[in-house]
Structure 1
Amino acid sequence: MLFTDDTDAALQAAVALVNSTDAPGDPLGTVEDLSAFLTAWTYTGRHDATPAELQALRRLRPALKDLLLAERDEAAGIVNTMLARARALPQLQRHDQWDWHVHAVDPDHPLDERVVVETAMAMIDVIRADEMSRLARCAADDCDDVVLDLSRNRSRRYCSTTCGNREAVAAYRARQKA
């Protein structure tokens, strides 16, 4: 295991949130979609289930994408800014299926603030471990999504099986033409 379970979960959730921007028929189109997203990615704490909360979370996507794709030193600055704005105060907590892990903002804070802080806290581990190369843009020519590579051999190049298959078919067809 490269990172702790809570770091993996926060990174995967952040990538899913960021990549939902370009997905057909925005997967965060409704408050119900948001509730399903929060359940799927095990976000805990306050959830108002309002259109305002949904819009606040959707507005986070560009800033989180910038963080995930930043160079190491730039990412450190972004993380520090995000945590300072949220007045984050790291504390150990244990709840639900999670053993002791770090939360840096109260569970009653707004959802968008908690998502920013959880992502920033996960990025601390990535930056400290000098593992920024685990985050990249999808290698597909027509895709701008983020790839989180948690594999041992660092072999993941595509954001999804769809992109990987599309690129493989295109390469096959190009070889057949030649």
Structure 2
Amino acid sequence: MAEELRIPILQRTGTYLGLPSDWGRSRKEVFSWIIARVNAKLEGWKEQLISKGGKEILIKYVIQAIPQYAMMIFQLPISICSSIEKCIARFWWRTNQNKGGVYWKKWDVLKDQKIQGGMGFRDLLTLNKALLGKRAWRMLTNPDSLWGTLFRGLYFHSSNFLSAVRGNRPSWGWQSILKGKDTILPNLC
């Protein structure tokens, strides 16, 4: 049919809104593009020309913003978040292009707020949970939105969002929203 219509057959369909439009079985493979983008950004900057203050700004406002849209929709695998954090730590401590640098403090300490002796870098796992919790909160407070109506029709048409369950063959998006619901449930009153 493709030959008759003279349409090329594509192996990969590309991206939509910055996310891949074709999904495989492995979530790690699906989200590997995030690590590739982080590495590309970090390798593009010349560390010896950037002060520690400049590195801090670049990490906080450029690198840690790359996975944010994907984190709003999906729960990223722990391995992806830890790989991003390893890349950031390597960039932070490296003094020049050839040397690895000395890691003077653990990454967990650098994630603490500045008042507590850290640098205030974001914990990506906690950020992911917070963004999914925000998505679940929107589902709870605005159930008549377009995507709220879609999910209600697919997964909890005969109940409400708080009593919704995983269901049969749920999408990654629905599973992630349920993780967000689990995040906000203890704090609801």
Q: Which TM-score tier does this pair reach, normalised by the shorter chain?
A: under 0.3
- Structure whose CA Rg is larger: 2
Higher helix residue share:
2
- Please, what TM-score do these two structures have when normalized by structure 1? 0.24
Higher strand residue share:
1
